[in-house]
Structure 1
Amino acid sequence: MPVVAVAGGTGKLGRAIVDALNATKQSTVLVLARESSELKEKEIGSKIVAVDYGNVANITEALNIHKVDVLISTVFSVQTNDAELALIEAADRASGKIRFITSSWGIPYTKSMGTRFGPAAHKAEAVAALEKTSLVFSSVHPGYFLDYFCMPKVKSYMDPVTTFIDIQNNIAAIPGSGDTPVVFTHTWDVAKFVAEYVNQPASEWEKDVFIIGDKITMNEFVAIAEEAKGVKFEIFHDSLDKLNKGEVTELPSHPAMYPYFPKTMLQSLFAAFGVFFDNGDFDFNPSKSLHDVFPHTKARTVKEVVNAAWKTE
């Protein structure tokens, strides 16, 4: 069986991908992490290989020892992209022909987007670095994670972050007009498609791969939430002028996040994504998506997930 390594696979999206890979029983799954843990290995059902993300030679050695065929990166840092770049260099140096999935997991980010959302520039930088290697690679674009609107009632490994629609408190702050379509996909569904994709031959890998769990406008999303809960929401619309200043309407769920996500940082981050939403950056129209490649694999719609989390009897 092929050996698939997931960097950052002990939590969040990486953990969901590890679970999905293990469920297929079509590959040997390893997790790359900063430290190993027997307890965590038992919990996730995969071997954890400790690596030093600041040491390319160390990562290369680990890839060679375990004969890794596919390396999936889910590492993320707001401040730096050093770990991702080290993984790319290590994979390129490795003795085997490793296929690489970048830690993009959103939209086709560009360097210019980095002025609003710093990691966008990092993600674009990683793709540019991959272009200079001999690696077969893909960036997977699933849009915005649907998890953020249904936790904790629908299982997710993601951190609980309330953006734009505070369903618990029946209030929404919609970026712009709210009429631009946005792609939403739950991480569990992203993971299922990725688990299928890694078994494709290298000749069928593409540099940009799209997953479209559902595509609706933010106004439609609010209507679904209202129907599920049987109440009308208080709705605000944040103008582009406001978003361009790095500001959004504060929702009741936001202050609880400030101790670990300061208000100015949170506002700036949400404002950036608000601009991306209104600009249509999350409105994918690819000629082919993984739904076409794997028609037997289904993703849940926004309505299905919202109803599972919030529908009243």
Structure 2
Amino acid sequence: MVGVGVAGGTGHVGRAIVEAIVATGKHEVLILGRTANPQLSAELGVPILAVDYTNVDALAKTLEEHKVHTVVSAILMMPSPSGELPKEVELIQAADKSRFTKRIISSDWGVPHTKEHISQHISVKLKFDAEKALKKATSLESTKFINGYFMDYWGIPQVKSYMPPTTMVLDIPNNTAAITGSGNTPVVFTHTSDIAKFVAASLDLESWDAVSYIIGDRVTWNEFLRLAEETKRTKFTVAYDSLEKLQKGQVTELPGHVAFAATIGQWYEMGVMDFRPETSLNDCLPQLQTLKVKELLEKAWQ
């Protein structure tokens, strides 16, 4: 049993991770947050510590005082509405400075990016900055999780998730699709509930790889569309956006669309989300079974 501090553990991926670790009954869990939340703390059954991420020394002292052996970061790697950048680097520095902290999972929860992606999305630069900070750390074993795209979005609200509703490629409630590129490039999808289970189980592994891969399911958009149509027993209205169109920042508007669809669409079609590592946590932890796209659709829409 070790002490685990989950940064950003009150929402989205973080809350799922907290619940999964608590469910194992193996570790002492606390949440690192910007503000205290007694009501949520009581609901989750774990303390929520209000910390100042900008004060590295004070944060390191907090980690020591609460005997946090492992830090799991689920900090959102995007600027806040006010423009404030996430304090992932400061969290890494504090964990490295803490005499008690030996491990950290850095916030990524996405796809294997290259430097060419930096100009396409602000989150990529922030993740590379965190990677540089990890390389400078002297006392930490670290990993980051690569899990593809969150499957949750196509099951909300019928399938439990703490992710905010987002419409991308398949607008299932409105029986509409705007397929990126040919629709034949495989994409890895993983539900946050499965990600959380793998995080919880990985705490018991003797060592970590620098990158921890999870593959929930791998389907093309055309396969995803077919499964959705079969599940709902209806034909969708379908458009295809070529890679050239996506590179111009143009996408077919869906009834529930969001602004960043063109960039993500390029990554889908160019195979960024079809990663195939030599080893993954699926191999290391074969007892953990992941939700498949077909199962998700049947739970949510059949």
Report if TM-score (shorter chain) is over 0.5: yes
Alignment partner, residue 174 of structure 2: 169
Any idea what SS the aligned residue of 1:273 has? helix
1:5 is aligned with what amino acid?
A: G
Which of 175, 199, 219 is the equivalent residue of 2:222?
219
Match of 1:263 in 2: none
Q: CA deviation at 1:247?
A: 2.2
Residue pair 2:106, 2:142 contacting (<8 A) in 1 also: yes
**What is the rounded CA distance, in whole Å, between the counterparts of 2:114 and 2:97 in structure 1?**
26
Partner of 1:310: 301
More helix per residue: 1
Report the alpha carbon displacement of residue 82 of structure 1 after superposing the two structures with TM: 4.2
Match of 1:112 among 116, 137, 147: 116
Q: 1:51 maps to what in 2?
A: 51
Deviation per CA, 1:114-151, whole angstroms, max 9, x where unpaired?
Answer: 21111011111111210111221001011000001110
Matched ranges for 1:179-198 at <5 A: 179-198=184-203
Q: How far apart in 2 are the matches of 1:209 and 1:112?
A: 22
Task: Look up the equivalent residue of 2:107 and give its one-letter code.
Answer: S
Superposed displacement of residue 109, structure 1:
2.2
Distance 2:25 2:113 in 1: 32
Q: Which residue of 1 aligns with 2:107?
A: 103
- The whole-number CA distance in structure 1 between the counterparts of 2:102 and 2:55 is 18
CA distance in 1, matches of 2:176, 2:225: 9
CA gap of 1:309–1:82, structure 2 versus 1, over 3 A, is closer
Distance 2:113 2:203 in 1: 22
% identity of equivalent residues? 45
Q: Tell me, yes or no, if structure 1 residue 233 matches structure 2 residue 224.
A: no
For residue 22 of structure 2, what is the aligned residue in structure 1?
22
Match of 2:211 among 208, 211, 232: 208
Q: 1:145 aligned to 2:150?
A: yes
Distance 2:49 2:166 in 1: 29
Deviation at 1:99? 0.5
Q: TM-score, normalised by structure 1?
A: 0.92
Number of residue equivalences: 297
RMSD (CA atoms): 1.1
* Partners of 2:112 and 2:273 within 8 A in 1: no
C-alpha distance after superposition, 1:45-90 (max 9, x if no partner): 1111110122112211110111111101111142264410110110
* SS at structure 2 position matched to 1:4: strand
Q: Distance in 2 between matches of 1:62 and 1:110?
A: 34
The counterpart of 2:288, out of the listed 291, 297, 301, is 297
Aligned to 2:274: 283
The aligned amino acid for 1:47 is P
Mapped partners of 2:172, 2:247: distance in 1: 25
Q: Which moved more, 1:139-148 or 1:72-81?
A: 72-81
Normalised by the size of structure 2, how large is the TM-score?
A: 0.96
The question of whether the paired residues in 1 share the 8 Å contact of 2:63 and 2:101 is answered with no
Is the 1:54–1:82 Cα contact (8 Å) retained in structure 2? no
Q: Is the 8 A contact 1:112 1:121 kept in 2?
A: no
Gaps (5+ residues) in structure 2?
none
User: Residues 103 and 139 of structure 1 are in contact (CA less than 8 Å); yes or no, is this contact kept in structure 2?
Assistant: yes
Report deviation, 1:242: 1.7
SS state at 1:53 partner: coil
How many angstroms does 1:98 deviate by? 2.1
For residue 137 of structure 1, what is the amino acid of its counterpart?
S
Indicate conservation of the 8 Å contact 1:170/1:232, yes or no: yes
